[in-house]
Amino acid sequence: QVQLVESGGGLVQPGGSLRLSCVASGFTLASYAIGWFRQAPGKEREAVLCINRWAGRIDYVDSVKGRFTISRDNAKSTVYLQMNSLKPEDTAVYYCARRSGSCSRSLSEFGSWGQGTQVTVSS
């Protein structure tokens, strides 16, 4: 059974850090791009970062550049999202999803979405 499970969310103060994990099962992670997405209350889901099967990285949101990084450990079937200098506007449910091979800006081209993990940035 193909599955992606996110974890690592929580409540953090502005300026703090969190590391999210996306653990894959039921398929070979090394063959897939993994994207991180987020959805804030009342807003559409947006692509944040993606890492392709060759470990190339794509930033989709200017506001996270220099603060968020994405990495993968295929041996652990895990993709990470390191989030530093968090801001209240980063508050959202964060999701990961997969796409064969390369990244895409189109959410509809990703599948096997996880259930999401809540990130709340607040003092």
pLDDT of residue 56: 87
pLDDT in tens, 52-106: 998 889 888 899 999 999 999 999 999 999 999 999 999 999 999 999 989 998 9
Which letter does DSSP use for residue 4 in this model?
E
List the one residue out of 97, 115, 91, 108 whose CA is nearest residue 39.
Answer: 91
Round to whole Å and give the CA distance between 14 and 37: 20
pLDDT in tens, 16-50: 999 999 999 999 999 999 999 999 999 999 999 99
pLDDT of residue 31: 93
- Backbone torsion region of residue 82, taken as left when φ is above 0, otherwise alpha when ψ lies between -120 and 50, otherwise beta: beta
pLDDT of residue 59: 86
Which letter does DSSP use for residue 53 in this model?
T
pLDDT of residue 55: 86
pLDDT of residue 82: 98
